Amino acid sequence: MMNRKYLAIALLLTFTVQSDWAQSLDARVMHGLMFAGQQIKRTALEIRDSTRFARSTMPDGSWKTSEASEWTSGFFPGALWYMHEYTSDPVFKSAAERWTAGITGQQFNSGTHDVGFMVFNSFGNGNRLFPSEPYKKVILQAAQTLATRFNPTIGCIKSWDNRKWDYPVIIDNMMNLELLFWAAENGGPSRLKEIAIKHAETTMNNHFRLDGSTYHVLGYDTTNGKVKVRNTHQGYADESVWARGQAWAIYGYTMTYRFTKDPRFLETAQRAADYFISHLPSDHVPYWDFLAPEIPNEPRDVSAAAIASSALFELSRYVEGNPLRVKYLGAAKKILGSLCSAPYLAEGTNSQAVLNHSVGNRPAQSEVDVSIIYADYYFIEAMLRCKSITEKK
């Protein structure tokens, strides 16, 4: 049954991609943004309770929601802010304000490294569009809270508590550094930037293989800071390459270069991007793990595609030389073009989300081949970045 399902997706792609690519990317992005606006507004009307946050879809296409304390909570208010930025529709602004307010208490949540996802995607986007002292105060406090998880012996921010590793650090954690960088530049102490840089350096030195691929989880020895184990948690195997983790690496190091202008981080972003791009299937949307054993009968992960596309749009702005710019911009556009098309765009399906075919945790059989809110968030971000680049030409 599983093989037939993914074979059907592959066959549908063969026919739809050929016809869809006849349209210009600009037209598809405009359509994707219009559809995203419809779905995000619909989600706000369906959920209503601003203390509950869209996370992933159930079999009937409706949203399963989470509490503010879950790592995904910031993506829905972030998507609302993005849609207001694009449309200027006051309905999006009002909803964004309500769901952002629902995350306020997470500024003090020292039990997770994901306070960056929670607070910066919500309050950060809100403050970017409508600078606010109360919003800024929350962001600065969240950064201070995140910094409490830093261990100078290891040189990293601890990712998880109460897991099988003494001191686990996951590649995803690169994304939360943006909170620290921004805070250090906007009234917070300079040590926040120092912590972010040290974490990026340590991860750069220990998480990457020679071919530019990344490990998901590293376990550190707290007595001497040395790596004890290199594992996976959501990928296929310890030595495989979890697609979303690789996308986090591209995005995280591109963002780190934005704040530091350190060429080491730009080179690291490129290494991660080169691996990702060179291992994509023909429609440019990765399987959930690049080395999953049953490819092509494995589920795709549009969340990894959306994150990578958004990151590649930014990366293309920083690299030197037209060939590299063309390479990364072209890859970003190809990925985005596929996401704007069937079967990935949720248009015409029962999903209340924007994109179909995401994978949360395949080994745990959790959130496999569903819609997931962070895929929608980065998809919208990628479309806005694409539109911005197009308009500047």
- For residue 161 the two structure tokens come to 């508590």
CA 116, 120, 121: angle at the middle one, nearest 5?
A: 110
CA 63, CA 56: separation in Å to the nearest integer?
6
Of the candidates 174, 340, 183, which has an alpha carbon nearest to the alpha carbon of residue 265?
174
Closest by CA to 210, choosing from 157, 274, 304, is 274
Q: What ranges in the chain are assigned the alpha helix state H?
A: 2-20, 25-47, 75-87, 90-101, 115-119, 125-129, 133-147, 177-185, 191-206, 243-260, 263-278, 302-318, 322-339, 373-392
Q: Which residues contact 194 (CB under 8 A, 6 or more apart)?
A: none
d(CA 35, CA 57): 17
Cis-peptide, bond into residue 343, ω within 30° of zero: yes
Tokens of 237: 């195997």
Cβ–Cβ < 8 Å for 308, 279: no
Looking at the annotation, which residues are catalytic? 114, 172
Quick one: which of 384, 386, 338 has its CA closest to 37?
384
Rounded to whole angstroms, the Cα distance separating 273 from 232 reads 20
Residue 155: count of CB within 10 angstroms of its CB: 20
Give the separation between CA 89 and CA 214, rounded to whole angstroms: 40
> CA 13, CA 131: separation in Å to the nearest integer?
43
The C-alpha atoms of residue 298 and residue 301 are separated, in whole angstroms, by: 10
Spatial contact of 377 and 79, defined as CB atoms under 8 Å apart = yes
Residue 366 pairs with which residues in a beta bridge? 361
